[in-house]
Amino acid sequence: MSQELIDAITDMREDDALEITDALLESGADPLAVLDDCRQAMEIIGQRFEEGDCFVPELILAGEMLKEISAKVKPLIQEQTGSTEKLGKIVFGTVEGDIHDIAKDIVAFMLDINGFEVYDLGVDVPAATFVAKVQETGATIVGLSGFLTLAYDPMKETVAALKAADLTDVKVMIGGGQIDDQIRVYTGADAYGRDAMTAVSLAKQWSGAA
């Protein structure tokens, strides 16, 4: 573990974080350990965000740093293992009629760096597209995002469409905006989450990795 790298990321020193990553990888550090440092740094940032001590632009910068670092690390991991072992497959997107993507992007990214294969369908995604992607990929988890109250019905329709397509084993999580347990019941989803870390722990639980 490199405390230096974790500190650089959590202090939002982008240039330092990238330089430290390069130095670590050149000196033969385990690329998986570097990714784990990123994960730890992101957890700290997520916690600070929850406590009101870190803010949205910093989350975005942290996300950018992580993308840059994973781009450096990923080819090395693939070299090592031949393929990257994934915890599970998740189909993800903002439901039809809604176009909000910031929170969705953060959650999709967090799932990705926590070891899930994420198929991000983008925004304004019709129920049929979710169903088709689950059938194509064999994903076992679907994440539905929506910020508007108008998103509740499309969420409900998507859950129903999955059931109608006999994908009854697929677990569905919803999130975004005002979503609470009442909305979860209304849509028929299996769980809801208020932040990215909840999505990660739900996905781990459902895929037996927790």
Partner 1 sequence: MKIIGEKINGTRKRVAQAITERDTDFIQSLAQKQTEAGATWLDVNAGTHPSREADDLIWLVETIQAVVDTPLCLDSANPKALAEAAKAVNKTPMINSINGEPERLEGILPLVVEHGCQVIALAMGGKKMPENTEARVDIIHQVIAATRAAGIPDKSIYVDPLLMTVSTNIQSGMIACDTIRTLHQSYPEVHFTLGLSNISFGLPARSYINRAFLTLAMAAGLDSAILDPLDRELRAAILAAELVLGRDRHCLNYTRAFRAGVFDSTKN
Task: Please give the structure tokens belonging to residue 175.
Answer: 């999130």
Window 11 to 70, contacts with partner 1 (CB under 8 A): 52, 55-57, 59-60
How near is the Cβ of 170 to partner 1 at its closest, in Å? 25
Q: Applying CB under 8 A, does 80 fall inside the site for partner 1?
A: no
What distance in Å separates the CA atoms of residue 48 and residue 54, rounded to the nearest whole number?
5
Nearer to partner 1, 12 or 165 (CB): 12
Q: Single out the residue of 84, 137, 149, 205 in contact with partner 1 (rule: CB under 8 A).
A: 149
Side-by-side strand order, sheet with 171-175: 116-120, 88-94, 141-145, 171-175, 191-193
Nearer to partner 1, 77 or 125 (CB): 125
Q: Please name the residues in contact with 21: beta carbons below 8 A apart, sequence gap of 6 or more.
A: 5, 34, 69, 72, 73
Q: Please name the residues in contact with 75: beta carbons below 8 A apart, sequence gap of 6 or more.
A: none
Nearer to partner 1, 23 or 128 (CB): 128
Catalog residues that contact partner 1 under the rule CB under 8 A: 52, 55-57, 59-60, 99, 102, 123-124, 149-150, 152-153, 177-178
